[in-house]
Structure 1
Amino acid sequence: MPETASGAVLFDLFGVIARHQSEEGKRLLTETMGAADPAAFWEAYWDLRLSYDRGDLDGLAYWRAVGERLGREVDPALAAALISADIDSWRAVDPAMVSLVERLASGGRTVGLLSNIPADLADRFEKENPWLAAFSVRAFSGRLGVAKPEPEVYLWCLERMAVSPGETLFVDDRSENVAAAEALGMSGHLFTDRTALEARL
């Protein structure tokens, strides 16, 4: 796949521009659930997460399903507390990456965002991060009902960014998502750090 020296850049969010869950946030989540076995909690959390991320389950249904796996009944009040704690655990961003996105956009590059996150998190993240306005397109799986690495979600972004696959670089920290983009004719970059990404750009 050829290097992309110019053109559009489609970014993943968490693990690239925003940080993964904080350890403190993860601890608060397990405490909110009252999980006696944190390992079982996280296994259920991730096993069921894609259905929440792509909007197949809303927050209440997701947390009830997690609770069922753990033998814990989750009522609406507990689900609301878990949704809030979950969102809080995903709030940190990398200022250097935010600056990079803003520089690309102000320099005339088309930049888009494609993230597998539930609508609950997307709503809050947009309210708290005005720098997201740098993206010409923001695609959140929980609103679209489709998620990476499904090809439809990449094509949705390309159409709305008004760019072709061949002029677009896709940046993600998960190899399967990068491979799916490359299969559609996009250039791919497996994100490890900002320095390597800037060299690619």
Structure 2
Amino acid sequence: MSTDRSIVLFDLFGVIARHQRPGALEKMAARAHAPTEAFTTAYWACRPPYDAGQQSAPEYWTAVLRWLSVPVDAGTIEELRLTDIDSWSRVDGSMVAYVQSLRDVAEVALLSNIPSDHADAFLAAQPWLHDLDHVAFSGKIGAAKPATAAFHHCVVAMRAAPADFLFVDDRAENVRAARATGMNGHVFTGRDELAAVIDTWLTTGRGSRTRSPMRRDSRYETQ
């Protein structure tokens, strides 16, 4: 079923934003007085509940430090938190411009796995996000990709049908999950290839559609 709309739903990191800043994990490991390899293991192993909004930043960092059997204190946690946020703060300017240009021909939304405090920092630093039709951060909506609930959230929030979406992510498992919900999907490898895919999707089988006149007044998930 389709509501005859065209919605391009973007992942953030690895598509519009850069992956983690090189050297960041080493820097955080040094602050925690832990070997980089052990720190990296703890950092990622403890991450899912934080990404999904089930843990606060202090709870996450306490779990990481306890995993490493190092002292837990508020100062260390805050330094690690701020360094972590900074490490995920870079965007690809050419992709930001491309995403903005798409709004002339389609609705554009975002679904990103990102903790709540990271999301707040990203929204404050990147004003272009406020022009999108919907922005869903995992730490705000309580569900992270590839969970079905993350994609279902976007369908319900935008009052659309799964078939109205083209989901773009650099991780194949997330694209497979989106397709399983009924969305169209594309594994991102570069802007030029993506532009060709979107052009084809908008003109083949989708008709010559333009943006839907229906716009949500509240586009950001803050709870």
Q: Does the CA-based 8 Å contact 1:101-1:134 persist in structure 2?
A: no
2:82 to 70, 77, 84: 84
Q: TM-score with structure 1 length normalisation?
A: 0.92
C-alpha deviation, 1:193, in angstroms: 1.1
* SS class of match (1:62): helix
Distance 1:112 1:56 in 2: 23
C-alpha deviation, 1:70, in angstroms: 0.9
Q: Deviations over 1:29-57 (max 9, x none)?
A: 2222222x101110111111111101111
Distance 1:115 1:102 in 2: 17
Does residue 122 (structure 1) correspond to residue 107 (structure 2)? The answer is: no
Q: Does the CA-based 8 Å contact 2:25-2:36 persist in structure 1?
A: no
C-alpha deviation, 1:101, in angstroms: 0.7
Distance 1:56 1:194 in 2: 33
Amino acid in the other structure paired with 1:81 = E
Distance 1:31 1:76 in 2: 17
- Residue 3 of structure 1 is matched in structure 2 by none
* SS class of match (2:23): helix
- Residue 212 of structure 2 is matched in structure 1 by none
- Residue 61 of structure 2 is matched in structure 1 by 63
- The ranges of structure 1 where at least 4 consecutive aligned residues each deviate by more than 3 angstroms after the TM superposition are none
Higher helix share: 1
* SS class of match (2:27): helix
Q: Does the CA-based 8 Å contact 2:53-2:141 persist in structure 1?
A: yes
Larger radius of gyration: 2
* SS class of match (1:23): coil
Distance 1:91 1:171 in 2: 20
* SS class of match (1:112): strand
Q: For residues 22-171 of structure 1, what are the structure 2 equivalents within 5 Å?
A: 22-35=21-34, 37-105=35-103, 107-171=104-168
C-alpha deviation, 1:24, in angstroms: 3.5
Does residue 19 (structure 1) correspond to residue 18 (structure 2)? The answer is: yes
Kindly, what percent of the aligned residue pairs are identical?
A: 45
Distance 1:196 1:134 in 2: 24
Amino acid in the other structure paired with 1:183 = A
Amino acid in the other structure paired with 1:16 = V
Q: Does the CA-based 8 Å contact 2:112-2:136 persist in structure 1?
A: yes
> Which 5+ residue runs of structure 2 have no aligned equivalent?
199-223
Distance 2:72 2:195 in 1: 45
- Residue 175 of structure 1 is matched in structure 2 by 172
Q: Deviations over 1:76-128 (max 9, x none)?
A: 111111100000101110011101110011x1411111011100100000000
Q: CA RMSD in A?
A: 1.2
